[in-house]
Structure 1
Amino acid sequence: MDFSFGAEDEELRARARAWLTGHLVGPYAQAVGLGGPGSEHEGVGARRDWERELGRGGWIGQGWQEEGYGNRRLSLTGQVVWAEEYAALRAPARVGHIGENLLAPTLIAYGSREQKDRHLPAIARGEELWCQGYSEPGAGSDLAGVRTTAVRDGADGLLRVTGQKIWTSLAREADWCFVLARTEAGSRRHRGLSFLLVRMDQPGRVEVRPIRQMSGTAEFNEVFFDGAVAQEVVGGEGNGWAVAMGLLALERGVSTLVQQIGFAAELERVVKAYAASGAPDPVLRERLVRQWAELRTMRWNALRTLGGAAGDPGAPSVAKLLWGGWHRRLGELAVQVRGAAASAGPGLWAQGDPYELGLDEEQRLFLFTRADTIYGGSDEIQRNIIAERVLGLPKEPR
């Protein structure tokens, strides 16, 4: 396959780079490099303003199948070009990516015209932020175990949501949450679920509690719903599983390539640390070369998938298995290259708060990447999907 970009794409690359360079100034310059997995607490205010700046430039919603909502549509390769330039310039991590890349395409596929007209313009302007209400205690990778319920109120006929969600990124910043809840009493597993849109600003009915991590940060949250009103149902009551699975199929697309640019920067930092160590180790060197080769392979696989294999039900799972394992191995390499110094180092055990570690970049990379093969669908779940939906193997007995 030809993985090069055409003249039109390179022209777009120049325009995108010029726009980003011209707008990453003033307060936005201070937010360069802030945010992202493990660092969502950084510069939230500036990043929210930056979201509106992107909206004014028409850069939100490039991949939507519909236009006319204030978004500019780009070809698939154009989206890749924009994403690569955005990552290369270390523009602030997006606080609106859940609304743009998950909720919006789901509304386009399953929502009503009224729902699209209500929500897509606000997302395209960068004005309304979303979070995802899927995982629960006891229902993480096994999403069919959802126990949060939504019951029609006899007085006003509104759906009222009660239950708990966990590991919810950006819940404190979000204006809305899309929630998978059980709307059919007595239903089990995939049946009786609905995909609901719930406003977060319902005092006394929606409570967000940060989950404190040993790094001292709290990018994840618990969300408690106590009779919260669900304003809308997407795809009809009882069809939530199909909508939820449709959304997850959208989760690994162009964003995979953006992620890999960040991975390349992390790998470069580890390679420089190895070169500066002054004690060449042929085993570590071979592993670093393997990491580089695997990263290149992941890029080609992502481009191949975007170019024609997007309908493959196993493609998202393959991508998750590839990057999750790769990133965890990089975290291990980062501390092994450092040697004994990685287990201590200046400020590892910070003074004051006993739960806060004074971590440097390599130590944080190692600890955070331990979760890469678990969150977003564990490796075991991804292998089951490939086995059952692609290879046609028998399902696991339950």
Structure 2
Amino acid sequence: MDIRHEIRQWLAEHLPGSIGTLDERLQWERTLADGGWNCVGWPVEYGGRGLTLEQQMAVHEEYALSGAPPRIAVVGEELLGPTLMAFGTEAQRARFLPRIRSGEEQWCQGYSEPGAGSDLANVSTGATLDGDRWLINGQKIWTSWAHISDWAFVLARTTPGSHRHTGLSYLLVPMRQPGVTVRPIRQLTGTSEFNEVFFDNATTEPDLVVGSVGDGWKVAMATLGFERGVAMLGHQVRFRRELDGIIALARANGTIDDPLIRDRLTRAWIGLETMRAYTLTGDSQPSVAKLLWGSWHRGLGELAMDVIGASSTTVDGDALSEWQHLYLFSRAETIYGGSDEIQRNIIAHRHLSLPRPS
């Protein structure tokens, strides 16, 4: 049985009719883990299936076609897991990878700060080694799923007086402790996936530094590479489902007969195929991938509003429609995870060797 048919059959047998609440989504993550359908790209020795990129894409496509909800566990599964495999110690891998694989522990990413968003090198959250523990003080913001997470990987300044990329360390910090305060941020969409996180003498163990102390920038950039690389396969499949829905809507209301709308739908399809091909090369540059999907998805939200027409500006009751939510949420996608402007600078300077502005 090929992998596509295998997951299609498993989803048909195990996917509940409704997964709406947060508790139901967390339970679904554990169900996926029990069935062996999370961490499918991880090596077999770490509990994964060792699937190729093409096989992973097939799994993601079938998952999206089934109507299953977006994954919550991607931060641990697709970001921290590969980072620990590349930079972690054997003890760290043995301690954390099995619990990510089993769905027992959820993770969040402690990168952005009020003064260090796209300019991540401006991080000011500090960590000091105090005997047998690290003491962490500072604030993170826009932290996805912090309110349900058991752990965070935190980029903190461990060398006092250091600047920019130097003196940073990559710490693994337990979230459920008195020194950590989480405040949800209510968004335009009415939801609160993002949070502010405050560290007030929060602690972690001295051996929970990934990589060397002071070498956190390199590790953090590798994590971002995983975020914008293979982890994007699942997002692209969701994008496909959204595009198919917008095309169906255009056919239903007749806007597909408008040459301008039809041209934009065609360009959206071409853009998605380009992203898919680029990711499947296995050699994609993270900054290019981020630039491609952020701009494309924001444009898809705008296209959805134009296909719907004037009624897209009204709300039925208190709930946004799927397309209104897409439009509002995608406005942020050219900013979070590294703004388009920052990605263009990285591409220009690091990959094309163009000079910096004088």
- TM over 0.5: same fold? yes
Matched, 1:103 2:80: yes
> How many angstroms does 1:258 deviate by?
2.1
Counterpart residue number, 2:204 = 230
Q: Does the 8 Å CA contact 2:246/2:304 hold for their aligned counterparts? A: yes
Aligned match of 2:10 in 14, 19, 40?
A: 19
Superposition CA RMSD, Å: 1.7
Counterpart residue number, 1:128 = 105
Q: Does the 8 Å CA contact 2:229/2:289 hold for their aligned counterparts? A: no
The number of residues matched between the two structures is: 355
Matched, 1:248 2:209: no
What is the distance in 1 between the residues matched to 2:198 and 2:340? 28
Q: Does the 8 Å CA contact 1:83/1:255 hold for their aligned counterparts? A: no
Counterpart residue number, 1:149 = 126
Counterpart residue number, 2:355 = 394
Matched, 1:221 2:210: no
SS for the counterpart of 1:189 is coil
SS for the counterpart of 1:169 is coil
> How many angstroms does 1:89 deviate by?
1.2
Matched, 1:54 2:32: yes
Counterpart residue number, 1:29 = 17
Q: Does the 8 Å CA contact 2:188/2:328 hold for their aligned counterparts? A: no
What is the distance in 1 between the residues matched to 2:42 and 2:144? 23
Counterpart residue number, 2:156 = 181
Question: Aligned partner of 1:370: which letter?
Answer: R
Q: Does the 8 Å CA contact 2:189/2:329 hold for their aligned counterparts? A: no
Query: Which aligned pairs between 1:307-386 and structure 2 lie closer than 5 A?
Result: 309-310=283-284, 315-347=285-317, 350=318, 358-386=319-347
SS for the counterpart of 2:59 is helix
What is the distance in 1 between the residues matched to 2:315 and 2:119? 39
SS for the counterpart of 2:203 is strand
Deviation string 1:341-391 (CA, Å, 9 cap, x unpaired) is 2222533xx4xxxxxxx3222222211111111111110111111111110
Identity %: 54
User: Would the alpha carbon gap of residues 298 and 69 (structure 1) be closer, same or farther in structure 2, given more than 3 Å must change?
Assistant: closer
SS for the counterpart of 1:372 is coil
Aligned match of 1:192 in 167, 171, 187?
A: 167
Deviation string 1:129-160 (CA, Å, 9 cap, x unpaired) is 1000000001011100000000122xx43110
What is the distance in 1 between the residues matched to 2:165 and 2:52? 35
TM-score, length-normalised on structure 1?
0.85
What is the distance in 1 between the residues matched to 2:71 and 2:28? 8
Question: Aligned partner of 2:157: which letter?
Answer: R
What is the distance in 2 between the residues matched to 1:141 and 1:318? 15
Deviation string 1:153-179 (CA, Å, 9 cap, x unpaired) is 2xx431100000000001011100000
Counterpart residue number, 1:36 = none
What is the distance in 2 between the residues matched to 1:246 and 1:255? 13
Counterpart residue number, 1:202 = 177
User: Would the alpha carbon gap of residues 335 and 76 (structure 1) be closer, same or farther in structure 2, given more than 3 Å must change?
Assistant: closer
> How many angstroms does 1:396 deviate by?
4.5
Counterpart residue number, 2:145 = 170
TM-score, length-normalised on structure 2?
0.94
Q: Does the 8 Å CA contact 1:179/1:196 hold for their aligned counterparts? A: yes
Q: Does the 8 Å CA contact 2:109/2:143 hold for their aligned counterparts? A: yes
Deviation string 1:217-249 (CA, Å, 9 cap, x unpaired) is 111000000000122111121111111111111
SS for the counterpart of 1:161 is strand
> How many angstroms does 1:74 deviate by?
2.0
> How many angstroms does 1:274 deviate by?
2.2
Counterpart residue number, 1:6 = none
What is the distance in 1 between the residues matched to 2:65 and 2:245? 15
SS for the counterpart of 1:187 is coil
> How many angstroms does 1:186 deviate by?
0.5
Q: Does the 8 Å CA contact 2:79/2:226 hold for their aligned counterparts? A: yes
What is the distance in 2 between the residues matched to 1:212 and 1:370? 15
Q: Does the 8 Å CA contact 2:41/2:48 hold for their aligned counterparts? A: no
User: Would the alpha carbon gap of residues 168 and 396 (structure 1) be closer, same or farther in structure 2, given more than 3 Å must change?
Assistant: farther
Matched, 1:82 2:43: no
> How many angstroms does 1:30 deviate by?
1.0
> How many angstroms does 1:73 deviate by?
2.2
What is the distance in 2 between the residues matched to 1:191 and 1:376? 20
SS for the counterpart of 1:30 is coil
> How many angstroms does 1:276 deviate by?
2.7
SS for the counterpart of 2:196 is strand
